[in-house]
Amino acid sequence: MQMTDDTLDKIKTLLATIKEKSPFYAQKYASLDPRDVQDQASFEQLPLTTKDDLRNAYPLGLAAVPPEQITRIHSSSGTTGTPVIIPYTARDVEDWSLMFARCYEMAGITKHDRIHITPGYGLWTAGIGFQLGAERMGAMAIPMGPGNTDKQLQMMMDLGSTVLGATSSYALLLAEEIARRGIGDRIQLRKGVIGSERWGDRMRRRIADELGVELHDIYGLTEIYGPGIGINCEADEAMHVWDDYLYFEIIDPATGALLPDGESGELVITTLVKEGAPLIRYRTHDLTSFVPGPCPCGSPYPRIERLVGRSDDMIKVKGINIFPAHIEEALAATTHASSEYQVMIDHLDGKDIMTVFFETGATGADRVQAQKELKGIIRAKLSLSVVPKAVDLGDLPRSEKKTKRIFDNRY
Ligand code: ZN
């Protein structure tokens, strides 16, 4: 994307003092002078910042302000190894709340709404981000956190929650529970703000239908404030992102080279005004693309497509690159298949075998047909032969956080 003059000014201001303020960047940029960056092209020559870099700065090595200016820390959940700690100043927290409130407004949520917040609170940025935005906007925050479905549903009915903030798998779990208990007419939800996970169309439709809500995808990551740096509007599926706070690039995940607008690749983000832990050209590993042209809603904020996966979620089977989104699209196109699935990859008798377990309400011949259909769709799309295995609805595990769906048993 073309860098605006305003963005370039912010970047030059940031780079002018980054080595003095941030020991992390002083070390990372030891052999270069970031003040040499005078235009977009020279900015694009700066090395990328990676999650491993951030891990190596544990605990507070990312801080670019004196300790007394740090008012809060958050930490990314990292499944393995050392966590990443992100220090925030008061201004960072304020900016985050402004961005999150802007997300709610973009989704048509107002101060009259009652926002039922189910993501976790604590070191994780999820719950507290939903809360900050709600308070900033003046809506009623209902800080439930995850778990205890009975209490969730009781509070939802008693307080008349109108907006659900959740991960997609937890929203699905609640939707199924509401349907099972037959309490749909006592639920007043009108919007769902779903974050922190990529999810397929079929799952989206199921949640929307069963809860009777309009769904919005909210984007964000702990390293860059948290959720709230982008959301889709009421006119379009793609997510608007806040380019007055952040600068976005899309690179080829394999080579690091910048990609032309419209091509799918890995999102790279630079914080323009963050004080506690500014990040320059940070690799998100989220795969998306810029959406060219203006949005029908009239908003001037640029858009990125819904995430199609993570560059580190990519698996190679028989030489073919596969993302979870591929499986989800195939399931969405299969009659009688639900959105829930699990993929197992094994190496047997010298070859890779990919088994796709999926839930279906169908039995008998319909069930056999669903398996055949799924196999055919995946073969047509990916030139890959898989073993389809239908299971009953509810047989695959649900989780309140992120649901792991692909298991690679080859190594
Ligand atoms: Zn829009």
**Residue 169: which pLDDT band, with cuts at 50, 70 and 90?**
confident
Give the model's pLDDT for residue 188. 97
Question: Do β-strands 246-251 and 309-310 pair in parallel, antiparallel, or remain unpaired?
Answer: unpaired
Listed in order, the ranges of the chain carrying CATH 3.30.300.30 are 314-408
Tell which residue, 109, 107, 332, 324, has the closest CA to residue 205: 332
Give residue 409's pLDDT band: very low, low, confident or very high (50, 70, 90): confident
Architecture of domain 90-310: 3-Layer(aba) Sandwich (3.40)
197: pLDDT confidence band, cut at 50, 70 and 90? low
Q: Could you give the CA distance from residue 339 to residue 330 in angstroms, rounded to a whole number?
A: 10
106-122 pLDDT, tens per residue?
Answer: 999 999 999 999 998 99
pTM: 0.84
pLDDT at 325 over 90: no
pLDDT at position 70 over 80: yes
| pLDDT value for 350 | 84
Q: Kindly give the distance from the C-alpha atom of residue 297 to the centroid of ligand 1, in angstroms, as a whole number.
A: 4
Whether the predicted pLDDT of 17 surpasses 70? yes
Q: How far apart are the first and last CA of the chain?
A: 39
> Cα(293) to centroid of ligand 1, in Å?
11
- Which residues 6+ apart lie within 8 Å of 122 measured at CB? 128
78-111 residue pLDDT tens = 555 789 999 999 999 999 999 999 999 999 999 9
Tell me the per-residue pLDDT of 294-322, one tens digit each, with 9 for 90 and over. Answer: 999 999 999 999 987 788 777 888 878 78
CA of 19 to the centre of ligand 1 (A): 37
* Confidence (pLDDT) at 79: 52
Cα(348) to ligand 1 centroid in Å equals: 48
Between the CA of 237 and the centroid of ligand 1 the distance, in Å, is 8
CATH fold for domain 314-408: GMP Synthetase; Chain A, domain 3 (3.30.300)
* 231 Cα: distance to centroid of ligand 1 (angstroms): 9
291 C-alpha to center of ligand 1: Å?
11
Compute the half-sphere exposure of residue 55: CA atoms within 13 Å on the CB side of its CA: 10
Query: pLDDT-based confidence at 407, cuts 50/70/90?
Result: confident
Give residue 160's region: left, alpha or beta (phi > 0; psi -120 to 50).
Answer: left
* pLDDT per residue as tens digits for the range 360-387: 999 999 999 999 999 999 999 889 999 9
Ligand 1 centroid from CA 139, angstroms: 22
Q: What is the mean pLDDT of the chain?
A: 92
CA of 235 to the centre of ligand 1 (A): 5
pLDDT surpassing 90 at residue 26: yes
Decide which of 202 and 298 is more confident. Answer: 298
Q: What is the pLDDT of residue 276?
A: 98
Residues 6+ apart with CB under 8 A from 13: none
Distance 169 CA to ligand 1 centre (A): 25
Start-end ranges of CATH 3.40.50.12780 in the chain? 90-310
As a whole-number percent, the residues of the chain with pLDDT over 70 amount to 97
Dist. CA 264 → ligand 1 center (Å): 20
Residue 78, pLDDT score: 57
The two beta strands, 214-221 and 226-232, are: antiparallel
The sign one gets for the Cα dihedral 343, 344, 348, 352 is positive
Give the residue from 191, 169, 178 showing the smallest Cα distance to 106. Answer: 191
